């Protein structure tokens, strides 16, 4: 065959092949266009999934595709409608359930080795003899010390169904001790601390609205009333919320009969009002509520109810702005979802929920950038949404609860020296180091007055300064910088060391109040005009 004829033949064959491919592509495109979409609300989604099932080139992981589709579908609705695989759902439910199954210890990891901060009374770990200050070396045969083992992975390995066994090997005074522990139900407390600040002022810090929150609060507040409390400072800072019914029960303790606590309303959820029954025993107690940018959901419901009914003073910074009602749905495979079905409104009519935006999850950073954390005039409120409290005070919508008394973030205490030791977690590591050599004295302390006497005579500032210089190579640039840093920094150090006493978190939060500008403001007399 001549070269010219061969060339002509190749070109002709290529033309035929390209034509065939174009024909297939065009036919497939025409076929795809013929997939009819009716007016059914979910018909297109069903059609796509069915087509994938019938036509996709490879074997399909139906679970993976389904969960991806569900997650994206819910994420497109609002920031809080969410799908949860079985593991996430279990963790979420456990956090609020009021108990979990495990060994019953609280620990921290200051130096790549976990140290036991608290052995929960009556728990499995206490029964076998674990002590505060023990270093955790192994869980069963897995080494967790000195290997940068993730803290959440430690927790997962120690938790487990009641009755199952786990061996925890600890180091105590240089001796390795293996403890075989039968896991059991461990109570989870939501009241972190409750104590008297002075002769008439009580303080309660609440970390979450869990299953047993109202019961815990009742017990704590009754104890404070017996000690002469006339004024309660109720700390909801960084409380991310939880169960609505617990927020309602707490609100009822302070409000008169018939006063609205909150109402909910949605497209498919008719308005529902929740009111106080007038049976609360705290109706005559002066109340100050502390909130900040980390206070959300049930915290905002409580704060909004107190503010709109002029029942107390709200002190701090604007709350998070999470005012959506999530209804839980559970599936037979152990997964679940929380779907937004309504919005929360305070008694005056304010919607607690802040607007959705593209940078919704970075809203707190934006507050810093725009000056809101430092200046009350920079707080973002919608002046078009003006409402009135029971006594006629102006309050505004736009997202979150704006406090009656604003307290800015205090940056005057933050020196270069402070930032350097903070970056090294020096205060936490020093507390662990100090406890090792003063274990007998600290664990014997069981009263706050005794703890204060001990800390005042311990020369912690000198010991800490030497520890940081030796271990971390950090020293203040001048004596002036050290003196400027000492009050704020050493308050934290004292609180962390005090935590190793029998008082635990009670000591930690009590000591930390000494340099808390929000508490300082809350202790001042404020009237509701």
Q: Active-site positions?
A: 297, 308, 322
Which residues, including other chains, have CB under 8 Å from residue 431's CB and lie 6 or more apart? 110, 493, 496, 497, 499, 500
Gap between the Cα atoms of 83 and 74, Å rounded: 7
Gap between the Cα atoms of 274 and 334, Å rounded: 32
Q: Is 197 helix (H, G, I), strand (E, B) or coil?
A: coil
Gap between the Cα atoms of 349 and 398, Å rounded: 12
Angle formed by the axes of helices 505-512 and 479-498, nearest 10°: 150
Gap between the Cα atoms of 338 and 331, Å rounded: 12
Task: Count the Cβ atoms, other than its own, within 10 Å of residue 71.
Answer: 15
Q: Is 402 helix (H, G, I), strand (E, B) or coil?
A: coil
Gap between the Cα atoms of 308 and 321, Å rounded: 16
Which residues, including other chains, have CB under 8 Å from residue 132's CB and lie 6 or more apart? 116, 117, 118, 119, 443, 500
Asked whether 116 and 133 are in contact (CB, 8 A), the reply is: yes
Which residues, including other chains, have CB under 8 Å from residue 427's CB and lie 6 or more apart? 421, 464, 489, 492, 493, 496
What are the Cα distances from residue 231, in Å, to 63, 85, 143, 202, 279? 55, 44, 50, 6, 19
Q: Is 441 helix (H, G, I), strand (E, B) or coil?
A: helix
Write out 217-274 in H/E/C secondary structure.
HHHHHHHHHHCCCCEEEEECCCCCCECHHHHHHHHHCCCCCCCEEEEEEECCEEEEEE
Residue located via tokens 């620990």: 107
What are the Cα distances from residue 324, in Å, to 321, 384, 400, 414? 9, 21, 12, 36
Could you say which DSSP state residue 201 is in?
A: E
- How large is the C-alpha radius of gyration of the chain? 30
Q: What are phi and psi of 47, to 5 degrees?
A: -65, -40
Q: Is 37 helix (H, G, I), strand (E, B) or coil?
A: coil
Gap between the Cα atoms of 496 and 183, Å rounded: 29
Give the number of residues written for the chain.
529
């Amino acid at each position: 065959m001549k070269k010219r004829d061969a060339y002509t033949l190749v070109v002709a064959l290529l033309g035929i092949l390209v034509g065939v491919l174009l024909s297939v592509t065009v036919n497939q495109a025409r076929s795809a266009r013929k997939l009819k979409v009716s007016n059914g609300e979910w018909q297109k989604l069903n059609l796509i999934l069915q087509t994938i099932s019938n036509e996709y080139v490879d074997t399909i992981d139906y679970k993976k595709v389904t969960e991806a589709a569900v997650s994206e579908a819910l994420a497109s609705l609002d920031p809080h409608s969410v799908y949860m695989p079985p593991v996430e759902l279990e963790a979420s439910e456990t956090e609020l359930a009021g108990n979990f199954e495990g060994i019953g210890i609280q620990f921290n990891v200051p130096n790549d080795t976990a140290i036991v901060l608290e052995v929960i009374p009556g728990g499995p770990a206490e029964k076998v003899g674990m002590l505060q200050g023990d270093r955790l070396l192994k869980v069963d045969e897995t080494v967790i010390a000195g290997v940068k083992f993730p803290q959440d992975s430690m927790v997962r390995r120690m938790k487990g169904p009641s009755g199952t066994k786990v061996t925890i090997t600890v180091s105590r005074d240089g001796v390795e001790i293996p403890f075989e522990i039968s896991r059991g139900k461990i109570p989870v407390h939501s009241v972190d601390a409750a104590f008297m600040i002075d002769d008439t002022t009580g303080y309660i810090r609440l970390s979450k609205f869990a299953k047993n929150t109202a019961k815990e609060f009742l017990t704590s507040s009754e104890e404070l009333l017996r000690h002469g409390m006339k004024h309660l400072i109720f700390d909801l800072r960084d409380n991310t919320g939880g169960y609505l019914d617990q927020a309602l029960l707490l609100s009822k303790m302070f409000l008169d009969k018939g006063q609205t606590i909150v109402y909910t309303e949605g497209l498919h959820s008719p308005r529902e009002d929740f009111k106080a029954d007038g049976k609360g025993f705290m109706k005559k107690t002066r109340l100050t509520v502390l909130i900040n940018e980390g206070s959300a959901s049930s915290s905002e419901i409580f704060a909004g109810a107190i503010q709109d009914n002029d029942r107390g003073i709200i002190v701090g910074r604007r709350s998070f702005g999470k005012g959506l009602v999530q209804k839980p749905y559970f599936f037979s495979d152990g997964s679940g979802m929380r779907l937004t079905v309504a919005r929360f409104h305070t008694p005056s009519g304010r919607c607690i929920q802040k607007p959705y935006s593209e940078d919704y999850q970075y809203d707190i950073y934006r507050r810093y950038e725009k000056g809101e954390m430092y200046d009350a005039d920079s707080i973002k409120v919608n002046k078009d949404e003006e409402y009135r409290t029971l006594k006629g005070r102006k309050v505004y919508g736009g997202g979150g609860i704006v406090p009656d008394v604003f307290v800015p973030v205090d940056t005057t205490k933050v020196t270069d020296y402070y930032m350097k030791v903070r970056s090294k977690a020096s205060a936490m590591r020093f507390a662990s180091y100090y406890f090792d050599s003063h274990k007998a004295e600290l664990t014997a302390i069981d009263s706050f007055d005794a703890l204060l006497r001990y800390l005042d005579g311990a020369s912690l500032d000198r010991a800490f300064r030497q520890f940081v210089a030796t271990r971390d190579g950090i020293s203040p640039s001048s004596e002036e910088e050290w003196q400027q840093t000492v009050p704020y920094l050493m308050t934290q150090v004292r609180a962390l060391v005090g935590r190793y006493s029998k008082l635990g978190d009670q000591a930690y939060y009590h000591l930390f109040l000494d340099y808390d500008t929000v508490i300082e403001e809350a202790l001042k007399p404020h009237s509701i005009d």
